[in-house]
Copies of this chain bind each other. A is one copy, B any other.
Amino acid sequence: MAEGSWIRRMFEDGVVLKQRYGAENVFDLSLGNPVMEPPAEFARELKRLVEHPLPGMHRYMENAGYTETRAAVAAQLSLETGIKLTMNDIVMTCGAAGALNVVLKTILNQGDEVILFAPYFVEYRNYIDNHGGVARVLPTDEQFMPKLDALETAIGTETKAVIINSPNNPTGAVYSKGLIHKLGELLHKKEAQYGTEIFLISDEPYRKIVYDGLKYPSPLHHHPRSVIVTSHSKDLALPGERIGYLAVHPECSQREELVNGLIFCNRTLGYVNAPALMQHVVRHLQQVTVSVTEYQQKRDFLYDHLVGLGYSVVKPRGAFYMFPRSPLEDDVAFVRELQRWKVLTVPGRGFGAPGYFRISYCVDDGTLEGSLAGFRKAAQKFNLS
């Protein structure tokens, strides 16, 4: 528990700073908690349901979720990927965090290894640990892309899964189709070499938030033992509602046994089922997304200013994070420095990548604009330009 989460720690520091100086004087870029309200379609659909409630709409349903919702998710994924999924491939979950725990509980035996690429979403380590797994952390290159040569060396007989997260938290990196293809080939090769099965777990809550006209390349095309875990926390701006799902590749080996295991673990880990009302609502919103243009404008604004101030930043292609190099080797010291100017960010070591810091720009424009003064002061102090 001592390690805690740097994200939550910064969040709590922020609460204190806001109490002291007033919320309007603190520029909080620490949490992936969109200030954007859910899309109008969400409000409309929720209102419709509340005004015309379905009988029993707050009751238990099958642990996998409502068949209509699972069918709607399957239809949308089929449309996006061109791969035919059905409701039998879908389990509705309490967010992507719930989905990840369910998958790991289902597939891991004590001591199995799960490969991550740094920087990574820090909770992965807790989730792996919850279910007796061992996290194996591999490096990315200077563009934050997984190093496949390192992966080739690292995969062994104990490797049960590889987790990827594109668009990435904390870097905003979006993996190319070519990269995922090579990753899939490598997994096949290693599976054949060791006679094992390796799951590719694709954590993709930011799938619909990609910029510059990029098209999201689904890992489903590149590995049959792929499991998608995701949520509507970001694409519908509903992080507090804990509504997400997992999807199993329809051609996954022992698919039925796997899905039954996932449903069982969804039940016995105490989730029981994804929240009922939200399942009803998102059923009709599979094609709806928050304004990606707005996020892209925020990215452009912040990226241009930071680069102009001398910060070294890999331009994000998706999600709503930026992961600049820390001007100080000690990223915690730099984040504390920014706090002096009432700008809240998260040190890179919170993501297994010291020497960087994370900016979350899913905030209103005033907060972004207000943060520039602090970034400028820090840049001057450390002679960035």
Residues of A whose CB lies within 8 Å of any CB of B are 1, 4-5, 8, 31, 33-35, 37-38, 43, 46-47, 50-51, 53, 55-61, 63, 94-95, 97-102, 105, 123, 126-127, 130, 237-242, 260-261, 264, 267-278
Partner of A94 from the list B8, B242, B267 (CB cut-off 8 Å) is B242
The answer to whether A275 touches B241, judged by C-beta atoms less than 8 angstroms apart, is yes
Kindly list chain B residues whose C-beta atoms are within 8 Å of the C-beta of A57. 240
The answer to whether A95 touches B51, judged by C-beta atoms less than 8 angstroms apart, is no
Kindly list chain B residues whose C-beta atoms are within 8 Å of the C-beta of A33. 59-60
Residue from A33, A63, A123, A240 whose CB has the most chain B CB atoms within 10 Å: A240
Kindly list chain B residues whose C-beta atoms are within 8 Å of the C-beta of A269. 101, 130, 269-270
The answer to whether B97 touches A271, judged by C-beta atoms less than 8 angstroms apart, is yes
The answer to whether B47 touches A238, judged by C-beta atoms less than 8 angstroms apart, is no
The answer to whether A94 touches B270, judged by C-beta atoms less than 8 angstroms apart, is yes
A300 to B261, CA, bound (A): 40
Q: How far, in Å, is A281 (CB) from chain B's closest CB?
A: 10
A275 to B241, CA, bound (A): 4
Q: How far, in Å, is A103 (CB) from chain B's closest CB?
A: 10
Kindly list chain B residues whose C-beta atoms are within 8 Å of the C-beta of A267. 5, 8, 123
The answer to whether A53 touches B59, judged by C-beta atoms less than 8 angstroms apart, is no
The answer to whether B37 touches A55, judged by C-beta atoms less than 8 angstroms apart, is yes
Partner of A271 from the list B4, B58, B94, B264 (CB cut-off 8 Å) is B94
Kindly list chain B residues whose C-beta atoms are within 8 Å of the C-beta of A102. 270
Kindly list chain B residues whose C-beta atoms are within 8 Å of the C-beta of A38. 58
The answer to whether B276 touches A240, judged by C-beta atoms less than 8 angstroms apart, is yes
The answer to whether A35 touches B58, judged by C-beta atoms less than 8 angstroms apart, is no
Residue of B nearest to A275 (CB): B275
The answer to whether B237 touches A271, judged by C-beta atoms less than 8 angstroms apart, is no
Residue from A46, A130, A270 whose CB has the most chain B CB atoms within 10 Å: A270
Residue of B nearest to A123 (CB): B268
The answer to whether A240 touches B59, judged by C-beta atoms less than 8 angstroms apart, is yes
A277 to B271, CA, bound (A): 17
Partner of A59 from the list B60, B101, B239 (CB cut-off 8 Å) is B239
Q: A60-B239, A60-B240, A270-B95 are in contact. Are A260 and B43 (CB under 8 A)?
A: no
Residue of B nearest to A49 (CB): B50
The answer to whether A1 touches B94, judged by C-beta atoms less than 8 angstroms apart, is no
Kindly list chain B residues whose C-beta atoms are within 8 Å of the C-beta of A272. 94-95, 97, 239, 242
The answer to whether A59 touches B34, judged by C-beta atoms less than 8 angstroms apart, is yes
Q: A47-B51, A240-B276 are in contact. Are A268 and B98 (CB under 8 A)?
A: no
Q: What are 30 A-B pairs at a CB distance below 8 A?
A: A4-B264, A5-B267, A8-B63, A33-B60, A35-B59, A37-B53, A37-B55, A47-B50, A50-B50, A58-B237, A59-B239, A60-B239, A61-B240, A94-B94, A95-B270, A97-B272, A101-B269, A101-B270, A102-B270, A105-B130, A123-B268, A126-B268, A127-B268, A130-B270, A240-B273, A240-B275, A240-B276, A241-B275, A242-B242, A269-B270
